[in-house]
Structure 1
Amino acid sequence: MVKGVFVTNEVSSAASHDAGFATRVRSALAWRWGTQVLAQLITWTSTFGVIRILDPADYGLFAMTQAILTALAFMNGYSFATSLIQADNISDRRVGQVFGMLIVAGVMLAVGQLLLAPYAAAYYGQPKVEDMLQVQAVIFLATPFIALPSALLARRIEFRSQGLVNLLCAITGASVALGMAWAGYGVWALVFAPIAMAAVRAIGLTISARLLVWPVFDFRGAWDIISFGGALTLCQLLWIVQSQSDIFIAGRVFSAYDVGIYSTALFLALIISGKFIPPINEVTFPALAELHKGGKPVAPFFIRMLRTVALVTAPLYIGLSVTADAVVPTIAGEKWAEMIPILAGLALAMPFFALQIVCSPATNAIGKPRIYVATSAAGAIIFPTVFLFGISGGPMGLVHAWWIASPLLLAVTLALTLPAIQIRIGDLLKELLPALVGCAIMAGSVLLLKPLVAGLAAPLQLLILVPIGGFAYGASLWVFWPSVMRETWSMLRNRSSDANDIPVSA
């Protein structure tokens, strides 16, 4: 009898822990993703206003500097801070050592960018790039006060304060960018907005995390931090090679105008995967790490998350592709008309890209960063290679390169990731089928109706086509997969539709 009571209590305790974990994860997702959506709405409003004021050449110059800044950023020490998330235990000394590493890295990168600026300007043949890079170097000095508190808050799966800080940053950046552009500062509006955001984020996160530790510059006994962080740093380097190779290659071959057209189209295409997926990863990584440390399988949680990402991002991208000829004039004006086919083409590659991005937290959480290194290496080889071949076709040649590289990298990533977390490809494809069918029905509906509204102004076309496409997509899911529709909506609303809404046990 005693044994029965003990077992019952144990099961009850485990169930309570699982329910509490699920609630924490849903709350974290709601805050991190919800505030990200609001922040992006603010940023988009400002960005679309700035795009109408500035010229494509301004965005071309800014993209050239971003390729350099991002290329250096892999050494900013973020990955050392990330090591605190998956560690079993941390002490004040351990946190201080990470803080010290971040400070050393930030100062070295700021000095390095100052010295590199004139050579980058000579490479691009754009003297203004030197001044822009020298001013942007200050961003690296704020990194320690962003990376460390972010990691400490993520370890506790606390994203409410991070979300609020992000909202404040969005308001700050939007105000600076739009105000300076309106005042006639040109490309400098794009330079100073991220600097202002970095300053606000550093102050806000430091206060939120109650970071009171002093930096420790004695790194003895920190080999585990260095080894784990080193693996992620290598991945970051490989990611930068993958993500910046198109601008680095095109910047020397294309005019600033063509670089501006392509880079702005890429920016718009990456808004969803580049802005909404990383917050999901920020929550997924500590959540999966906690599951793994508790001896629970990560596969159910991961596959549900992958399905949710597909259901949300795929229709947005396919919809963007089939309505690009109305989207570009509406948000950017007629002077950006050359961007229409580029944006439409890039949007077709982005669903594959979004799915690939959400795979790395799973393998990192189970202590297998080598898989992340391998997939990052694959991306660093695949993307520059296809860009080198595609560059001869101009901006559209780079778009065609995306069509090859993005699905290929996803295939490599899944081939390495799924066996590690014990998921069969057939099970994954079954989960992704609703998004595939729904997008096909949605695209077909919009394409059938486009000729009927072709004579209307671009904004009016969107007012008609977007609701119709959304209705077609939602109706197809509701008719063929109503349970999937309910589960996904419940997760996005931070509510549990049933006991398996967020699976945390076998």
Structure 2
Amino acid sequence: MSLLANAKWNSFSQFFKIGIQLVNIVYLAKLIPPAEYGLMAMALVVLNMAILLRDLGTSAAIIQRKELTNSLINTVFWLNTFMGLALAVIVVLASPVIAEIYHQPKLIPVLMLLSITFPLSSCAAAHLALLERDSKFKKISGIEISSSMVSVIVAVVLANLGYGVYSLVFQAITLNLMSAIQFWLASSWRPFLREFIKLDELKSIFGFSANLSFFNFVNYFSRNADSFIIGKFMSVFILGNYSLAYRIMLFPLQSLTFIASRSLYPVLSRSQDNNADISKTYLNCVFVILLITAPLMSGLALLSKPFVLMVFGQQWSLVGDILKCLAPTAIIQSVLSTAGSVFMAKGRTDILMKLGIIGTILQVGAFLIGVHFDIITFALLYFVANVLNAFPVMYCLLKLINSNFKDLIVKIAPVVGATIVMVVAMKFTIAHIGIDFISTFPRLISFSLFGGAIYFLSIAILSTQVRGVIKSVARKKYS
């Protein structure tokens, strides 16, 4: 299946999940107070780290390998399954200690319940990897959509019954249970016991998987150290606000970059020896990602305050201030998050691991400095760290595929120019009408459409690629 076909089905699944996330963020935030969201954020710090150890990069190795044996798949399956069970036990036993670190005894039952998700997801990891390797994203999207739908219904019902943070907990359990069952049914492969875990098969993927696992592990700290540090040294209330702002920021990151990375990896793996094809495909992918994320997140940064007050209410007003710094960060991360697909497809997880260490030092360093100030300064330093991290990542990536910064700049220059024009036009208008004028949904939507129209006209003028697409669509419509 081609990249476009992969992207089509991944987009269908992801945009449906965006709707589910909107229900989570908008509707559930009205029923669950910030402190309860803070508890879930604290639990996720622990769970996200355990998720990295659950797989050890073995599923990615299944997709990347040119030749795949049934023995290797079986070895990966049993390794993942035992890791999932072991992590569940470890989290249960460690939950009192973790709760004591946070000074939140309510975390103990939350962590114990969430530990169930590890064996559920790990026992289906190999089946999912096989489906992705064969680009069967139509099946995958159907499974993810149905699982997300059922899990959010569970969360909404429980939240209305007053279960607070446990509505989010059982949402996660339901999602993993439904997904595991359906991935098993969708894949024809079944595990067997006669050879169990073969050390020779593990050795054959050790270098790839070990470097990828270490990268994921250090990347965990750069992505979750903020929640741990805020929860430890600030307050649950601030963490709840930051967590919500971060989830809003992740929308383009979890949607567009998820679609791009998931669609890219199997395609690039099949073309791993052809740098010209990889370079062309990757630069086009970056262009499309920035085409959407740059204006979207720039507009959100400008309109964060009225957006948050209207959508979430006065109790979440701090989120608007935090978003002004986090929204631009999403633009950078939306590009950097796709870089892993290239390094993995080329089999150079060793470079990816080293870049992960650099990124972690920059971001955790920014957090440790920012925690001595307020949450706005904290978020601003997070943005600065991402800017600094972008340079070594893109340099190594472009060099690996025989490309350079000039190719990248030429490719994205129209998007950058059009976004600047849009931002200047919107700021000029706000300066004359006042931000308080945008105090109702019709005005917020109208002003957003105004910014979108400015951007569309600008990108159509500046980008030959966009003009080509417009002309192609017009010819098909009127031919």
Shorter-chain TM-score tier: over 0.9
**Structure 2 residue 9 is matched with structure 1 residue 31:** yes
Contact 2:306 2:438 in 1 (8 A): no
Q: Structure 1's 461 and 145: CA in aligned 2 closer, same or farther, altered over 3 A?
A: farther
The letter of the residue matching 2:144 is N
Q: Structure 1's 233 and 246: CA in aligned 2 closer, same or farther, altered over 3 A?
A: same
Number of residue pairs matched by the alignment: 472
Deviation at 1:352, TM superposition (A): 1.1
Moved more, 259-268 or 169-178: 169-178
Q: Structure 1's 295 and 312: CA in aligned 2 closer, same or farther, altered over 3 A?
A: closer
Contact 1:273 1:354 in 2 (8 A): yes
Q: Structure 1's 156 and 40: CA in aligned 2 closer, same or farther, altered over 3 A?
A: same
Specify the alignment match of 2:439 in structure 1.
457
Q: Structure 1's 128 and 486: CA in aligned 2 closer, same or farther, altered over 3 A?
A: farther
Contact 1:266 1:346 in 2 (8 A): yes
The letter of the residue matching 1:454 is D
The letter of the residue matching 2:320 is I
Specify the alignment match of 1:264 in structure 2.
244
Equivalent in 458, 462, 475 of residue 476 of structure 1: 458
Matches within 5 A, 1:5-404: 24-77=2-55, 79-214=57-192, 217-222=196-201, 223-293=203-273, 297-404=277-384
Deviation at 1:442, TM superposition (A): 1.4
Equivalent in 382, 385, 392 of residue 412 of structure 1: 392
Deviation at 1:456, TM superposition (A): 4.9
Deviation at 1:295, TM superposition (A): 7.8
Structure 1, gaps ≥5 residues long: 1-20, 498-506
The letter of the residue matching 1:96 is N
Q: Structure 1's 489 and 162: CA in aligned 2 closer, same or farther, altered over 3 A?
A: farther
Structure 2, gaps ≥5 residues long: none
Specify the alignment match of 1:431 in structure 2.
411
Deviation at 1:104, TM superposition (A): 1.2
| Inter-partner Cα distance in structure 2 for 1:465 and 1:78 | 47
Deviation at 1:293, TM superposition (A): 4.7
Q: Please tell me the root mean square deviation across aligned C-alpha atoms, in Å.
A: 2.1
The letter of the residue matching 1:186 is G
Deviation track 1:372-430 (CA, whole Å, cap 9, x = no partner) reads 11111111111111100000112112212112111111111012111111111011011
The letter of the residue matching 1:197 is L
| Inter-partner Cα distance in structure 1 for 2:175 and 2:246 | 22
| Inter-partner Cα distance in structure 1 for 2:256 and 2:143 | 16
Q: Structure 1's 228 and 488: CA in aligned 2 closer, same or farther, altered over 3 A?
A: farther
Contact 1:40 1:170 in 2 (8 A): no
Deviation at 1:225, TM superposition (A): 2.4
Specify the alignment match of 1:9 in structure 2.
none
| Inter-partner Cα distance in structure 2 for 1:466 and 1:94 | 51
Deviation track 1:7-29 (CA, whole Å, cap 9, x = no partner) reads xxxxxxxxxxxxxx6xx221111
The letter of the residue matching 1:471 is A
Deviation track 1:418-467 (CA, whole Å, cap 9, x = no partner) reads 11111110110111111111111111222233353733533223211111
Deviation at 1:42, TM superposition (A): 2.5
Deviation at 1:489, TM superposition (A): 11
Deviation at 1:263, TM superposition (A): 1.2
The letter of the residue matching 2:383 is W
Contact 1:25 1:157 in 2 (8 A): no
Matched residue SS, 1:213: coil
The letter of the residue matching 2:32 is L
Contact 2:461 2:467 in 1 (8 A): no
Matched residue SS, 2:200: coil
| Inter-partner Cα distance in structure 2 for 1:487 and 1:367 | 34
Q: Structure 1's 283 and 482: CA in aligned 2 closer, same or farther, altered over 3 A?
A: same
| Inter-partner Cα distance in structure 2 for 1:71 and 1:218 | 24
| Inter-partner Cα distance in structure 2 for 1:416 and 1:227 | 19
Deviation at 1:296, TM superposition (A): 6.0
Deviation at 1:302, TM superposition (A): 1.0
| Inter-partner Cα distance in structure 1 for 2:81 and 2:200 | 18
Specify the alignment match of 1:503 in structure 2.
none
| Inter-partner Cα distance in structure 2 for 1:47 and 1:489 | 38
Q: Structure 1's 109 and 448: CA in aligned 2 closer, same or farther, altered over 3 A?
A: same
Contact 2:3 2:267 in 1 (8 A): yes
Deviation at 1:67, TM superposition (A): 0.4
TM superposition score normalised by structure 2: 0.94
| Inter-partner Cα distance in structure 2 for 1:420 and 1:41 | 37
| Inter-partner Cα distance in structure 2 for 1:448 and 1:413 | 35
Specify the alignment match of 1:448 in structure 2.
428
Matched residue SS, 2:328: helix
The letter of the residue matching 1:438 is A
The letter of the residue matching 1:316 is L
| Inter-partner Cα distance in structure 1 for 2:273 and 2:383 | 38
Moved more, 458-467 or 48-57: 458-467
Q: Structure 1's 395 and 295: CA in aligned 2 closer, same or farther, altered over 3 A?
A: closer
Moved more, 129-138 or 143-152: 143-152
Contact 2:298 2:423 in 1 (8 A): yes
Deviation at 1:330, TM superposition (A): 2.5
| Inter-partner Cα distance in structure 2 for 1:73 and 1:162 | 20
Contact 1:269 1:347 in 2 (8 A): yes
The letter of the residue matching 1:428 is L
